[in-house]
Structure 1
Amino acid sequence: MGERGWGWTPSKIRRVRFIEWLVPQSSSATYVPIKPFYDAQPDADALTTQVVHDELRELEQQSLIHLAAGLGGIEGFDALATAKGRLLAEDVQAGRADMRQRRAACRDAMVDWLSSQDASTSLRQPSRDLMLADPRYGTWLAEPFSEADLDAAAAWLRRQGLVDGVTVDECEGPVRLYLTDAGVLCAEEFCSDTVQYVAAQRSTASNAVTIHGPASGVVVGSHGVTQRAGDAVQTTQLDVAALARFADAVALALPALGLAPREQEDARILTGEIVQAASKLRPDQHKLRVLGQSLRTILEGTASNVLAATLLGLWHG
């Protein structure tokens, strides 16, 4: 249903909510009237019989429901959730329980929303709460972000230098805000992926390799290092499995590392990103190297910590 969980159309959000509504009522083989669900929608007046029919047909084509469409408009439509529909509902609800992903999603959505508002100057600072009025940005996995989510996201983005704006004593983050130049870069060059942007910035200084010998120089941000000496070619490939083990070990050890709250949060996000990226059939080695170097940078800040030093020995970049 979409990897990021936001950016969904109102129809897509409504379809997911419908599946969640239908599943608990589909414990038997009895079809369920769909009218009560659609009558309860805030835009019920705009949901014509044709709109409802098209949405239900799409769910049926995706094997998420069985549909019995009778005569007489919406009143004649009954549905039953399939096993695939139940699995979708379970996946969505499990995803919502991941607070780390929720926080990251809210930050990404906020950057993208500000970009869509062309809010890149102090002369244009929309109220952050207006984001909730646009379901494409204010909703994650078919559930609205909370005001607390927005406050935490705005505060984090400001700490990273991606936004600035007007603050009040009652809130941690700015209540009116705009993208800084860094925020615009994140939106335009990193598709509003704040974790990837921050990781890339941190790795810029640490991801430089100096090559000595016949082919001397400095390579920055490369997938690997290739050195030519005559006809010999040597390429350093990333050990994806070792990096994944490193990330897993760091994730387990986080509570004992004594990191500052901000660093612990960043490390938690990075470990999740690494494990997810490493599990793909064709891992993006460049992305993994950047994420891994960023995680090492955080741990290197606690070099006097014996546990951190041990973890750093698991993967050297």
Structure 2
Amino acid sequence: MDLTRGYNLSPSVQSRLRLLDWIADNGGKTPGAIVDLGPLFDRKDQEGAMAVAGNLEALEAQGLLRLQKTLGWAGWSGDVLPPGLDLIEDVAARRGDRLRRRQAARDAFLHWLFDCTLDGNEYPDSDDFSSSKYGAYYGEPFTEQDISAASQWLRDEGYLHGTTLASGDVVNAMITTRGQKVVESERSVNAETQQPAPYSVTTVNITGSGNNVAANSSNVSQTTTVQMTEDNSRQLLGLAESLAQLTNSGLLGLTEDQSREAALVVESLRETAELEAAPGGDVRTLLDKAKEVALAGTGTAIGQTLVAAVDQVIQALGLG
């Protein structure tokens, strides 16, 4: 599931999060606890029941849930696997993080305004935000307080303008040029104005082609050069996207400093993938750093899954 932003999640992802919520609320918060899933199918027509079954099977395919199926859906049961338990806890923590929730509300409201403008509605009714695809955070609706605070902050920062009521609420909001630029550049209004330099390893050339060592190393050893073929670049870019998504969604449980470190690794992976070739030692160091970041937070089970993916990339690049 792509949980990068928390808002504007696809309907299927929101449905699966709600299913996990229901399972957790019905006794599925401990390892091995079998939960009767039959009530999920109650009063559902054929199409609705198939949708529930499909989402449950998708959760199982993602390694989050283990199903015990019968011929009739009413007899289905299952238990949540450790990665699923981590996901339930992490999503609950993210929903309860008032700072991140408020920041997400700002981006969500601005993206909604942008979409309304594209549809020819420059002054949309703010009450319509809640029922839009942007109106929920990890499947849980933004509160009126979230929305009010977001619109006021966006007004104060120059991302929108509108009529301010005596209560402070903003009505007849319209996105400004500054707001449009942020959305079009796929940046967050909460992003820091200056980003630190990407994580990198300094190398020096010894002799010949493709022989490099890490500078200032106590144990210097030669390494081969990794040619950035289409497949090798795809491996690194895929890993970068996975790390970015898990970091931004909070599923790795990283601190603010650890999240910044993860962002540097992501940027370096993307930059390395764009090269024609890169020293093998540099690439291996970068991949080891990705593993270190993955295990730095509290989302250990999900971090282990990412580490396994990194190990696969290491083997694919011949750096094992």
The question of a shared fold, defined as TM-score above 0.5 by the shorter chain, is answered with yes
In 2, distance between residues paired with 1:179 and 1:193? 15
Among residues 142, 147, 159, which one is paired with 2:156 in the alignment? Answer: 159
Q: Which residue of structure 1 aligns with residue 265 of structure 2? A: 282
In 1, distance between residues paired with 2:64 and 2:31? 16
Is the CA contact (8 Å cut-off) linking 2:63 and 2:83 kept in structure 1? Answer: yes
Give the 3 Å change call, closer, same or farther, for CA 188–77 of structure 1 in structure 2: same
Within a 5 Å distance, the mapping from 1:1-12 to structure 2 comes to 1-12=2-13
Within a 5 Å distance, the mapping from 1:91-106 to structure 2 comes to 91-106=90-105
Is the CA contact (8 Å cut-off) linking 1:64 and 1:85 kept in structure 2? Answer: yes
Is the CA contact (8 Å cut-off) linking 1:277 and 1:284 kept in structure 2? Answer: no
The residue matched to 1:175 in structure 2 has which SS? strand
Is the CA contact (8 Å cut-off) linking 2:39 and 2:74 kept in structure 1? Answer: no
Is the CA contact (8 Å cut-off) linking 1:166 and 1:177 kept in structure 2? Answer: yes
Among residues 120, 125, 128, which one is paired with 2:126 in the alignment? Answer: 128
Give the 3 Å change call, closer, same or farther, for CA 20–188 of structure 1 in structure 2: same
* Count of residues in Structure 1 that have an aligned counterpart in Structure 2: 209
Runs of 4+, deviation exceeding 4 Å: 27-30, 44-47, 272-275
Among residues 140, 145, 157, which one is paired with 2:142 in the alignment? Answer: 145
Give the 3 Å change call, closer, same or farther, for CA 130–53 of structure 1 in structure 2: same
Within a 5 Å distance, the mapping from 1:257-296 to structure 2 comes to 276-280=259-263, 282=265, 284=267
Aligned-residue sequence identity (percent) comes to 29
In 2, distance between residues paired with 1:222 and 1:29? 45
In 1, distance between residues paired with 2:166 and 2:56? 47
Within a 5 Å distance, the mapping from 1:1-317 to structure 2 comes to 1-24=2-25, 25-26=27-28, 27=30, 29=32, 31-37=34-40, 39=42, 48-72=48-72, 74-118=73-117, 124-134=122-132, 136-170=133-167, 172-189=168-185, 191-196=186-191, 199-200=192-193, 276-280=259-263, 282=265, 284=267
The residue matched to 1:137 in structure 2 has which SS? coil
In 2, distance between residues paired with 1:118 and 1:80? 45
The alignment's C-alpha RMSD in Å is: 3.0
More divergent stretch after superposition (58-67 vs 24-33): 24-33
In 2, distance between residues paired with 1:35 and 1:168? 49
Give the 3 Å change call, closer, same or farther, for CA 39–176 of structure 1 in structure 2: farther
The residue matched to 2:130 in structure 1 has which SS? helix
The residue matched to 1:7 in structure 2 has which SS? coil
The residue matched to 1:161 in structure 2 has which SS? coil
> C-alpha deviations, 1:165-209, integer Å up to 9, x for none?
233223x231331101111111112x251123xx44xx6xxx9xx
The residue matched to 2:174 in structure 1 has which SS? strand
| TM-score using structure 1 length | 0.58
Is the CA contact (8 Å cut-off) linking 2:106 and 2:150 kept in structure 1? Answer: yes
In 2, distance between residues paired with 1:91 and 1:103? 17
Is the CA contact (8 Å cut-off) linking 1:33 and 1:78 kept in structure 2? Answer: yes
Is the CA contact (8 Å cut-off) linking 2:105 and 2:147 kept in structure 1? Answer: yes
* Greater RCO (CA < 8 Å, at least 6 residues apart): 2
Listed as ranges, the gaps of 5+ residues in structure 1 are: 208-220, 224-271, 286-317
Give the 3 Å change call, closer, same or farther, for CA 169–112 of structure 1 in structure 2: same
| TM-score using structure 2 length | 0.58
> C-alpha deviations, 1:51-82, integer Å up to 9, x for none?
1221111100111111122123x323222211
Listed as ranges, the gaps of 5+ residues in structure 2 are: 199-254, 269-320
